[in-house]
A and B are shown apart, each in its own frame.
Chain A
């Protein structure tokens, strides 16, 4: 079992729709969870992070964390073509502060 799993996609959504990206992790003691966006040929850039169970909103983005079920998700409201990118989930395992990345989910927002 991979430590951090994401569906590689592509996930296609129409412009204006809600995109839902999911990530599961294997280490139950993981502490911190990060979502990065990576455009083709570019480096990852942080969208948001979440530490506590529940939802965290930042503009059009909402991160949801459920530690009991060991998943974290990212919702993108009012999706725009400029949101088309690969979204990377990163998890900090228990006892460390390093990141374990998933393989990323490629999102395509159709105009």
Chain B
């Protein structure tokens, strides 16, 4: 079974530029998550999708971050404009069905390491 795919793996940009990350979840997984992990910290949930609807985006900085999940499969996360403090690893995860404890195990992709100069 293929895992969660993410691209690119690394990205270096100047502040105020824009950047986009792509995620393809495990086939059949209804729930998709985007996390931000700053060095030395645990992952912080940015947004959670159930199929193509948003379940939780309470910690997404909506003035600069946006995300979409068209057709309930792939997802993109965009930052525009980027700030220095956005330097982090952006992790995508998926679970079979995020609505029940028995199906809530999350599987993570390899992440995208973003450096903002």
Contact = CB atoms under 8 A, between A and B. Distances in A.
Given A43-B109, A46-B106, A46-B107, A97 B44 contact: no
A1 interface: no
A44 B99 contact: no
Interface string A75-88: 00000000000001
A98 B42 contact: no
A43 B4 CA distance: 11
Contacts, number: 54
Interface residues of B, number: 24
Contacts of A98: 33, 45, 48, 55-56, 98
SS class of chain B's interface: helix, strand, loop or mixed? loop
B111 interface: yes
A103 B31 CA distance: 24
Contacts of B31: 97
A49 interface: yes
A45 B100 contact: no
Q: Chain A: interface residue count, which band?
A: 20 to 34
Contacts of A45: 108
Contacts of A70: none
Contacts of A43: 91, 108-111
Interface of A: 4, 8, 31-32, 34, 42-46, 49, 51, 88, 90, 92, 96-104
